[in-house]
Amino acid sequence: MFGFLRRFFAHDLAMDLGTANTLLSSAREDLLVNEPSVVALDAASGAVLAVGAQAKAYLGRTPQKIRAVRPMKDGVIADFDVTREMIAYFVSKAIGRSRLFRPSMVISIPSGITQVEKKAVIDAALLAGAGEVRLVEEPMAAALGADLPVQEAVASMVLDIGGGTSEVAVISLSAMSVTRSLRIAGDVMNDAVRRYMRDVFGIVIGENSAERLKIELGTAVPVDDGRTAEVMGKDAVLGTPKTVSVSEAHVREALRDPLQAIAGAVLRALEMTPPELAADIYERGMLLAGGGGLLRGLDQYLAAAAHIPVRMDDDPLTTVLRGSARAMRDKRTYEDLFIN
């Protein structure tokens, strides 16, 4: 009877706990939460004032009594207590505060994190209200979400670019034969844009402004569409308000170093791949997933750098989440994919 009640009333959840955004879905892949991984705190008491999109709007705009923080850094927990509060908020938003059973959760994590960092994710989720927590590595979840044959004796190559990490993996027979985890991704791209604006234009801009520039004008390959944007910030020397006009060529130059680093990680993964698996990759190509993969022309850039076909997933923002939900839905079939 207890098992029947649990199956009927329980709310099993899949979570993509990201540096930039956190997504939750049901096991049926219904998207329940898609919010920035940001928390606004009372600077004096530490009380949570806002979470998600509302808290992100505070970044760079808060008075001294309010502190807007991102508790995830480089794909791992940087502030345990704030992360626990954030997870609890998102879980409550997804399934409500009144529930009969604690939800089981499958959470995707970067492949390069330590055992201590894995334990921190599990503990944070349990303290936030989860009844059981399973972990799956992000490249494996991305491959599963894109319907790649992860359990077959054929190589599938995945590049997942999130906010904090870029994960490259070659997958075959339910295991990752080769992995490269690089803590260079969307956040580093934003920082590169901010640094370029300061060094070249002498203007200081905020994190949100840099992200908007990257999204609106960012390209990995030359695009002659004449796009420009007016950017407002603070003069780096005088401290007075300043406005400059920026083109897509400027943003592409700002992103050059992070993109070269990501391409280098792909090339190193290919160098480490056994010949039989490499042959599959050169025939079948690489899947590009994650929010960072939405940068215009990135698939073309990587294809030219690695000399392999590169295709973008249909919905790269939710690829990892869909794979986590699929693993949650059929735990027995994908038992070998869980790492705890």
Residue range 230-258: mean pLDDT, rounded: 96
pLDDT band at 7 (very low <50, low <70, confident <90, very high): very low
Nearest to 25 by CA among 85, 120, 108, 139: 108
Higher pLDDT pick, 12 / 3: 12
Give, in order, the Cα–Cα distances in Å from 264 to each of 166, 267, 270.
11, 5, 10
Q: What is the pTM of this model?
A: 0.90
pLDDT of residue 64: 80
Residue range 122-133: mean pLDDT, rounded: 91
Q: Each residue of 266-275: pLDDT tens digit? A: 999 999 999 9
8 has pLDDT over 60: no
Give me the chain's average pLDDT, please: 91
Structural domains of the chain in order of their starting residue, each with its CATH number: 2-36+74-140+320-337 (3.30.420.40), 148-184+258-313 (3.30.420.40), 186-254 (3.90.640.10)
Residue range 60-76: mean pLDDT, rounded: 84
Nearest to 83 by CA among 57, 119, 59: 119
Residue range 242-252: mean pLDDT, rounded: 96
pLDDT of residue 135: 96
pLDDT band at 288 (very low <50, low <70, confident <90, very high): very high
Residue range 310-319: mean pLDDT, rounded: 95
